[in-house]
Amino acid sequence: MKIIAILRNQRMFNILKEYADLNNFGIVHYTNVEDFLNNYSLYINDDIYMVVNAGIEIGHNVLSLKNIKAIQQFGIGVENVDLEEAANNKIPVFNVPTKGTANATSVAELSMFYALALARDYNGCINSINHGIANEPMGISLAGKKFGIIGMGGIGLELIRLLKPFSTVIYGIKHTKPEKDYAKKLGIEFTGSFADDFKIILPKLDFIVLALPLNETTQNILNGETINLLKNGSYVINVGRAGLIEKYALIQALKSGKIKGAGLDVLWEEPAHIRDEIFHFNVIATPHIGGATESSIHDIARIGIENIKNYIDSKSLKHCVNAEVIN
């Protein structure tokens, strides 16, 4: 039995290896699928449990291999894994939910960084320093500003906790209809469902934060139509997946000033490059590091190895995203 870890970051692998070693699992590191496939003959007689980063495509070339026993996503989003192909080959795909982990806290903290940096026009501050200008630009306070948190899983709930001390007004949108008095229980202004309330709250918002998974329902939820509903001069923050936003529509809105600025941890091509047209505008970006804190990576590595161990020991499908197919 081998754990094959396809992770771009050596530090992530070192932490994962700590937990694999505790369980006496043999583990091998690759940074891309191609190198693994080139060396596949070394593992042809092993049962393979694969751990993969977001953004690393796992398709037919991997999932058709007869000794692939399970895929463990190193995080929550599994859009890089061909779930249909995995189902065809009866391969379970596991993830690590954010709720109750340091991953949720880490991504929520990064969302706060974007909110503060956009409010105080951080790009304008850099420009002033570069040109020897003092006392400019003038920013805005977060107090009293209306935030729409789209996605109220672990990240969204953590972000509510962080925003409340800033005296913000918070609107939350869930995938499903929230229970009665849910907003009151959370101490926020409003909660609603994506189907019924998403478009209704958009004109109210100063900041919209996307903290939800990418799927057929959420693809391009911010597009020309929905961006047009936003308040003029509002801000967009995306810590979910790039595909939640129609790129051209965001560029046009930034160009026109409809959107005053954007904070993006996820981009349409990763790794991103400064030559991307999106960086011609008031965009603050990070290279998909929302969950890349030491405490978060330890949680993800620990739970990922637990998922693999439990599946080997008892065929447990806890945290399996395609459990209904495997069953």
Domain count, the chain: 2
Residue 225 lies in domain: 102-285
How does residue 50 score in pLDDT terms, banded at 50, 70 and 90? very high
Per-residue pLDDT of 220-233, as tens digits, reads: 999 999 999 999 99
Catalytic, out of 241, 246, 306, 319? 241
Pairing of strands 68-73, 259-264: unpaired
254 vs 260: CA distance, rounded Å: 6
CA-wise closest residue to 299 among 96, 160, 145: 96
- 304 in the same domain as 222: no
| pLDDT tens, residue by residue, 269-279 | 988 999 999 99
Sheet strand arrangement including 48-52: 27-30, 2-6, 48-52, 68-73, 93-94
Cβ burial, residue 4 (10 Å; 0-12/13-18/19+):
buried
Task: Say whether 270 is catalytic.
Answer: yes
The model's confidence at residue 2, banded by pLDDT at 50, 70 and 90, is very high
Q: Which domain CATH number covers 263?
A: 3.40.50.720
- Active-site annotation holds for 319: no
> Which of the residues 120, 189, 270, 298 is marked catalytic?
270
Position 149 scores a pLDDT of 98
Q: Both 135 and 28 in a single domain?
A: no
pTM for the structure as a whole? 0.90
Whether 20 and 162 map to the same domain: the answer is no
- On whether the CB atoms of residues 315 and 90 are closer than 8 A, the answer is no
pLDDT digits (tens, 9 = 90+) for 171-218: 999 999 999 999 999 999 999 999 999 999 999 999 999 999 999 999
Q: Which of 29, 158, 246, 288 is catalytic?
A: 288
- How do residues 100-123 score in pLDDT, each as one tens digit? 789 999 999 999 999 999 999 999
What pLDDT is recorded for position 101? 83
Same domain, 86 and 145: no
236-284 residue pLDDT tens: 999 999 999 999 999 999 999 999 999 999 999 988 999 999 999 999 9
Q: Are residues 160 and 42 in the same domain?
A: no
Does residue 118 share a domain with residue 41?
no
Q: How confident is the model at residue 158 (pLDDT cuts 50, 70, 90)?
A: very high
18, 301 Cβ separation under 8 angstroms: yes
- Is 8 a known active-site residue? no
* % pLDDT > 90, the chain: 95
